[in-house]
Structure 1
Amino acid sequence: MRDSFYSLADQLVAQCAGAEVLLLNFAAERSDFVRFNNSLLRQAGNVLQQYLDLELIDCDKHVSETISLSGDGQENLRKASASLDGLRARLPQVPADPYLLYAQEVRSSEKTGACKLPPVKDAVGAILTAGAGKDLVGIHAQGESGGGFANSFGQRNWFATHSFHFEWCLYAQGDKAVKSAYAGFEWSGAELAAKMATAAGQLGALGRPAKTVPPGEYRLYLAPAAFAEFTDMLGWGGYGLKSHRTKTTCLLKMLEEGAAFSPLFSAKENTVEGLSPNFTDAGYVKPDSVHLVTAGRFDTCLVSPRSAREYGAEVNSDGESPSSLDIAAGDLPRDEVLQRLGEGVYCNQLWYLNWSDMPACRITGMTRFATFWVEGGEIVAPLNVMRFDETGYRALGSNLLALTREREFLPDSGTYDARSTDSARVPGALIEGFRFTL
């Protein structure tokens, strides 16, 4: 794919005239998808797709278009050349863009991860073995995601990663199920079996009569998937330079009133260990990491090319939300979580999260899938659905007791248009006095 893209880029760049600048972004994937229901393979398929985005620039005017590509090099050149001609005809009709910014210093790069994935039939066999005798429903995806950048200055960038993501539920009855996921770059049958055993153990607890607790403050353990949902809210403008300068960030109190998170909490954009490309659509090479929050204090903004031009800053991000979020681990061993929780709520999943007061960093949402009541360090009953309303400054600050030593790698399971390259690496979190309202 790389050589075909570079060859096409060379031919398109040769068609540029005068002061025209051409930016090309290529995205592709080779993925296998397998769907399971009732612990049986129900549907299997694969996807091979390639797309090319062309952006033509002249001074501060620019227009763009995305086309699909095939395996026929001559047909790809014909389609792309026709697209370029169409962009050239449209360009004089658009107004100048005062915030247009793109890389002009040539910084070529290549990042290709080794493929450590099993044949898909082996992964399917391991899943069927682990799920035998259970009502398992889920989807497994694995394969290569790649992409490239080229411009008329001669810059060439390429990346490719090979990853898998198996997301599943063990169904009990009614609205009761345990949701789990296993993802990464190197498959381990033993790790899958361990995760399945944990889910199966919680499935047994779901068969007990459900408990309802009154609204109030409870000690809470958020498993990594739930903690990822909660902390993902901070990416809604919390880290971006634009939101900071316009005072629309959810971290406004941290910036202006001295509020802080716990010293236990540190977060960074960790491009070098994620699934996302290490370059932007405008041709800027990203740093390996950007420290967003360090020991509870805000550190560095994510800066897109447009914000960089508007505010005179240096580009370090494609957008201004994390695509490879990395939250530092703590020192709480995972096998001691229930003991440390003592009495309270053990939550595997959250959903329907939204802001109830964004400037105050106050988040509302609901529990989902296998949330339990714990007494004496043991799960005693499943909990009926609960709504929470809590600020980040309490949950990640004064009331944060511990983060787990072990973390989970959680790719975004989205497959709209293509498999997402966003991911997060997060621990679980033990929190005191978490506010449940319903």
Structure 2
Amino acid sequence: MEHLTQQQQFAALVDWLRGAIAAPEAFTLGYNAEASEFIRFNHAKVRQAGHVQQAALNVKLINDGRHADLRLTLSGDAEVDQSRLAAALQQLRETLVLLPQDPYLLPNTDDWQISNAQHQPLPDSARVLAQINELAEGLDLVGFYAAGPLYRGFASSWGALGWHQANSFNFDWSLFHANGQAVKASYAGDHWDDEAFAQRFQQAREQLEFLGRPLHALAPGEYRAYLAPAALEEVMGMLCWGGFSADAIASKTSPLQRLYNGDAHLSPLVSLNEQVTGSLSPAFSGEGYPRSDLSLISGGRAHEQLVGSRSAAEYGLTANGAGGGESPSALSMAGGTLALKDILKQLGTGLYISNLWYLNFSDQSAARLTGMTRFATFWVENGEIQAPVNTMRFDDSVYSLLGSALEQLTRERELILSASTYSQRQTASSLLPGALISRLTLTL
């Protein structure tokens, strides 16, 4: 049997479904697939290696303001998959007559075509393993490597057709000291650079050496601090829970409500974009709306929102391709002027925080966060690391951390890809600098 590419398989199913639909029925069809290699490490040795190839469809049938959805797994066999899609269509038809009309259903009836296939070759796994093995010699490394192409497709009965392929890798690892302390690090992207990875690994290795020193005890209070990109990513992750959502802003539940109301602002250094261009995320949403770059925060001031189709229908807005959760999936924060080599010097005396953990809102309306330091957090004096710091809890407002207390952002930024493999690998990413902060409040 002729081997079809993922795009050809999707196109064949789209053609069949368009022929099977009877007016006034309409459909949208989403496609998700991956061909991923997974490698797990323990004690710097490969403990598990495997390959996952899977594909699935999200089918929505629409008729007279009613809609029903169904997800089905594909086999890769054209006849079998067409039969599964036919059965799904029949099931949706039987379900649809039992449902009420949805007042916020707003399908995109535009006829658009978007195609983006990133064919950047991924690194050879044998080469990656050889470098990891060399760099991790004598270390207790625990890690997870995932790599391969991700595919996304969309089609509708109104003629819309989108295709997206992104190749990426993500190596997420920890180095453990004999005393149980650990350094966590990651290296991700679409182009493996031996030198860049070696530098990232060397940084983690140097931090591991400091973990052998006696812990430095800190009392609760305000401390000067540097948040590495991974720590800042945890803060941004909390803000993405409704912070830029049109629905949350309209219903007054956004943690950035004061910012969007114009009652508060962040530092002029802060500019955040939903940077779809050049990212791993498709330039169309699962709802069938094209996506473009959005300026969410510019110079510390709120700008655009993420608007999904339901928010557009309910609040009279224009949908701009946001997903159902209206959360950024290609977040990009502008860098500053602080060079990585000058971080400790500029920090002077204070905390170097590599990671934050277990964050939650202590006062959501005030964008106030609480969480824990974790992994490599160090006490720095006169520009030199002195000792690791025990796990501490912080409680502070984003309007301080990224507002009045923000001094500088690093010139270099780190690409952080979603490490989630729940159900499937994800295309979400963050491109973030590090942040030098004049005061961070530790509570215990």
> Normalization by structure 2: what TM-score?
0.97
| 1:309 aligned partner | 313
**CA displacement at 1:253 relative to structure 2:** 2.0
Task: Answer yes or no: is 1:362 the counterpart of 2:368.
Answer: yes
SS in 2 for 1:273: coil
1:174 and 1:9 mapped to 2: Cα distance?
A: 57
Residue pair 1:116, 1:187 contacting (<8 A) in 2 also: no
**CA displacement at 1:255 relative to structure 2:** 3.2
SS in 1 for 2:57: strand
SS in 2 for 1:272: coil
| 2:3 aligned partner | none
Residue pair 1:130, 1:192 contacting (<8 A) in 2 also: no
1:58 alignment partner AA: N
**CA displacement at 1:257 relative to structure 2:** 5.7
2:309 alignment partner AA: P
**CA displacement at 1:327 relative to structure 2:** 0.6
Task: Answer yes or no: is 1:170 the counterpart of 2:169.
Answer: no
Shifted more, 73-82 versus 249-258: the winner is 249-258
1:86 and 1:263 mapped to 2: Cα distance?
A: 54
Task: Answer yes or no: is 1:290 the counterpart of 2:302.
Answer: no
Deviation string for 1:402-422 (max 9, x for gaps)? 000000000010000001111
Deviation string for 1:73-129 (max 9, x for gaps)? 000000110110110111110011110111101111101112221122221112111
Task: Answer yes or no: is 1:275 the counterpart of 2:275.
Answer: no
1:314 alignment partner AA: T
Deviation string for 1:275-321 (max 9, x for gaps)? 2211112211111x110000000001100010011112111112311
Deviation string for 1:338-361 (max 9, x for gaps)? 000000000000011000000011
2:82 alignment partner AA: L
Task: Answer yes or no: is 1:388 the counterpart of 2:394.
Answer: yes
1:53 alignment partner AA: N
1:113 and 1:126 mapped to 2: Cα distance?
A: 25
Q: Structure 2 unaligned runs (5+)? A: 1-5
SS in 1 for 2:433: strand
Residue correspondence of structure 1 range 98-113 to structure 2 within 5 A: 98-113=103-118
2:54 and 2:79 mapped to 1: Cα distance?
A: 17
Residue pair 1:308, 1:314 contacting (<8 A) in 2 also: yes
Task: Answer yes or no: is 1:416 the counterpart of 2:422.
Answer: yes
Aligned residues: CA RMSD: 0.9
Residue correspondence of structure 1 range 186-225 to structure 2 within 5 A: 186-225=191-230
Residue correspondence of structure 1 range 8-407 to structure 2 within 5 A: 8-256=13-261, 258-287=263-292, 289-316=293-320, 317-319=322-324, 320-407=326-413
**CA displacement at 1:252 relative to structure 2:** 2.0
SS in 2 for 1:203: helix
SS in 2 for 1:406: coil
SS in 1 for 2:82: helix
* Overall identity of the aligned pairs, in %: 43
Residue pair 2:262, 2:302 contacting (<8 A) in 1 also: no
| 2:440 aligned partner | 434
Residue pair 2:110, 2:159 contacting (<8 A) in 1 also: no
2:286 and 2:168 mapped to 1: Cα distance?
A: 22
Residue pair 1:20, 1:57 contacting (<8 A) in 2 also: yes
Deviation string for 1:143-174 (max 9, x for gaps)? 00011011112221100000000000110034
1:358 alignment partner AA: Q
1:274 alignment partner AA: S
Give the paired residue count. Answer: 437
